[in-house]
A and B are shown apart, each in its own frame.
Chain A
Amino acid sequence: MKAAFINPFLEATVEVLKTMAFVEPTPGKPYLKNDNVAKGDISGIIGLTGDARGSLALSFSEGAILKIVSNMLGEAITDMNGDIKDAVGELTNMVSGVARKKLEAAGYSITAAIPTVVSGRNHSILHVMGGPSIIIPFNTDSGAFVVDVCLARKE
């Protein structure tokens, strides 16, 4: 995967969480992931096609997502209910939207599918291209989450 594909997703994630949830996540060093096991307790995944193909997943720890959704809704959410699932899908959608706009500026026109949400400890994230994927780890005051992206330029 091209390094140029990483920054748009990193920036988009920070932008979406800052604007919608007033949470400023701290990015860590990106690394390669070779298995399908999700890093978080709940993940949103979305397929991407066009000048580059692949998929994007956002995988949140329970602590991180409860705080993010509480801030988004303006009410304290303390358990992993349907609101959380819905919000993870919507956040995945928005990060994909902002990242695709940035990729478009770099000359890659990409469209996205509808996000799906999976939860449970050690659930799988199956990337469209199979993998390996790049993990961009993030930390918040309430827990960690990762952006898990596998994207390849169309030959």
Chain B
Amino acid sequence: MDKNIKILIVDDFATMRKVIRNILKQIGFENIVEAEDGAIALRALKSQQIDFVIADWNMPNMTGLELLKAVRADADLAKTPFLMVTAEALQENVIAAVKAGVNNYIVKPFTAETLNEKIVKILGTD
């Protein structure tokens, strides 16, 4: 797995972005950019090469689910791997995210090990 891939963290809480960045660093990913909501994330995705998205579900302006739908609907971005972060594993949320084409989801709180597992599952171990 290429550890130099560019990962976009999308979360309205600066602290949570830092926490995820810190965990990603622990598991060897250092090429990270951040956005504080879905709308800003979408602009970043359109203006630079981003290889992986980790997005929170609950955000103002544009939620994680709306961002996911926008990414899947855009021919240039549609194949971008997308990991959704939620504070609760409500079945209806999971179904909605899967329907919208999410690659996987992770429930807060999570450990570095769990996040790594999810990334490996999406990207493969090559």
Residues of chain A having any CB pair with chain B under 8 Å: 15-16, 19-20, 69, 72-74, 82-83, 86-87, 89-90, 93-94, 96-98, 100-101, 114
Contact B15 A93 (CB under 8 A): no
- In Å, the complex CA distance between A94 and B87 comes to 6
Contact A73 B87 (CB under 8 A): no
Q: Which residues of A contact B87 (CB under 8 A)?
A: 93-94, 96-97
Contact A74 B22 (CB under 8 A): yes
- In Å, the complex CA distance between A98 and B108 comes to 8
Contact A73 B18 (CB under 8 A): yes
Residues of chain B having any CB pair with chain A under 8 Å: 13-16, 18-19, 22, 25-26, 58, 86-89, 107-111
Contact B22 A90 (CB under 8 A): no
- In Å, the complex CA distance between A114 and B57 comes to 13
Q: Which residues of B contact A89 (CB under 8 A)?
A: 13
Chain B residue nearest to A73 (CB atoms) is B18
Picked from B26, B86, B109, the residue with its CB within 8 Å of the CB of A19 is B109
22 A-B contacts, Cβ less than 8 Å apart? A16-B109, A19-B109, A20-B19, A20-B109, A72-B19, A72-B22, A74-B25, A74-B26, A83-B18, A86-B13, A86-B15, A90-B15, A90-B16, A93-B108, A94-B109, A96-B87, A97-B87, A97-B88, A97-B107, A97-B108, A98-B109, A114-B58
Q: Which residues of B contact A114 (CB under 8 A)?
A: 58
Q: Which residues of B contact A16 (CB under 8 A)?
A: 109
Q: Which residues of A contact B25 (CB under 8 A)?
A: 74
A94-B87, A96-B87, A97-B88 known, 9 other contacts, Cβ within 8 Å: A15-B109, A19-B110, A73-B18, A83-B14, A93-B87, A97-B86, A97-B108, A100-B88, A101-B89
**What is the number of contacts between chain A and chain B, taking CB atoms within 8 Å?**
50
Interface residues of A, dominant DSSP:
helix
- In Å, the complex CA distance between A100 and B93 comes to 15
Chain B nearest CB: distance from A9 CB in Å? 15
- In Å, the complex CA distance between A93 and B12 comes to 13
Picked from A19, A69, A97, A98, the residue with its CB within 8 Å of the CB of B15 is A69
Of B22, B25, B87, B107, chain A has the most CB atoms within 10 Å of the CB of B87
- In Å, the complex CA distance between A155 and B88 comes to 25
Chain A nearest CB: distance from B107 CB in Å? 8
Chain B nearest CB: distance from A142 CB in Å? 18
- In Å, the complex CA distance between A41 and B107 comes to 29
Q: Which residues of A contact B16 (CB under 8 A)?
A: 86, 90
Contact B88 A86 (CB under 8 A): no
